[in-house]
Amino acid sequence: MTSTLRLIGVWLAVIALLGVSTGSAYIPMGRFNSIVCVTIGFIQALLVWTFFMRLRWSGLLVRLIAVTGLLWIVLLLGLSLTDYLTRHPVAS
Amino acid sequence: MSASAEAVGRRANDTDSEVGLWIFLASEVMFFGLLFYGYTITRINHPQAFADASAHTDLLLGSVNAFVLFTSSLTMALAARSLRLGAQRASVRLLAATLALGILFLAIKCYEYHVDIESHLVPWGDFAVSGRLAGGERLFFFMYFVMTGAHAIHLTVGLGVLSVMLVGVARGTYTEQNSQAVELAALYWALVDTVWIFLYPILYLVHRP
């Protein structure tokens, strides 16, 4: 497969996932709606970063930098949510 | 051609400018990450208001824009690849297509802002919603304008970069041997695309009755 075809294939996958994500919003699943469409977003982003941003062909240093940016967001959100998601209503 | 393309594509060592740009991109991820963080905490505090407010966003315009921007990411990746392989004319055409798609995205976004303003969805004005959830819905639209606004500014900067690349490739400043600037521009453009990948579900798809 030539790399042009591969890039077009990645684009088709990203667009197909966009359709799935939009369609899923109309299926009532409660809080799982957001989990599904954000998970699809992560898959789309992984495709874009791997192929359009060429991480698949990058060296170790660039891959480390790419992961570090994400890691800090995961730490920030993850540690904060241990607080926000475990709060109990306090009578004022 | 396939074999040579593979040979051109696979590099074990990162160049200094690639490393530098990726550090910048990682800082951009942290910048937008903070906005997503703010959104998440606000939404945890106002779940119902965020669901109701999200239904006021224009799903059609948001979805069309997602399609436009995701497609521009493809044309940009192909433009960088074409130049790397020495296909200068194809690269110019693909860069022009990317630029056109980026401008189309901004035009649609501006029209959407116009509709939002007409519908009194600007949180610091005469707001369309009143009642118990109005405060939370204002916060949703505050996040909506700040996040899409920050994204639009990045996209506008990207359009400027793309214009320089387009002229540079057309004039022969950037060539097969000197394609790095275009490759770095493609990385930045894909990052702007990535931001919309996440803005789309959290702003347009929270709740669709």
pLDDT in the model for residue B2: 45
Structure tokens at A7: 């890039």
Does some domain include residue B44? yes
Determine the pLDDT at residue A91.
60
Is A6:A14 a contact under the CB 8 Å cutoff?
Answer: no
Report yes or no on B24 lying in a domain.
no
Check pLDDT > 70 for residue B22. yes
Does residue B165 form part of some domain? yes
Is residue A68 scored above 90 in pLDDT? yes
User: For position B122, which CATH number holds?
Assistant: 1.20.120.80
Q: How far apart are CA A34 and CA B156, in angstroms?
A: 29
The whole-number pLDDT of residue B125 equals 82
For the segment A62-70, the average pLDDT, to the nearest whole number, is 94
Question: Per-domain residue ranges for chain A?
Answer: 3-84
Domain count, chain B: 1
Confidence class for position B11, pLDDT limits 50, 70, 90: low
DSSP B55-79: TTS-HHHHHHHHHHHHHHHHHHHHH
Give SS3 for B149. helix
Residue B159 lies in a domain: yes
Say yes or no for a CB contact (<8 Å) between A54 and B205: no
B9 contact residues in A (CB cutoff 8 A): 3, 54, 57
The string of pLDDT tens digits covering residues B101-153 is: 999 999 999 999 999 999 999 998 889 888 899 999 999 999 999 999 999 99
Tell me whether A20 touches chain B (CB under 8 Å): no
Query: Residue A92: which pLDDT band, with cuts at 50, 70 and 90?
Result: low
Which residues in A lie closer than 8 A to residue B188 (C-beta atoms)? none
Range of the domain at B79: 38-204
Q: Which residue of B has its CA nearest to A82?
A: B41
The number of residues making up chain B comes to 209
Locate the chain B residue with the closest alpha carbon to A62: B19
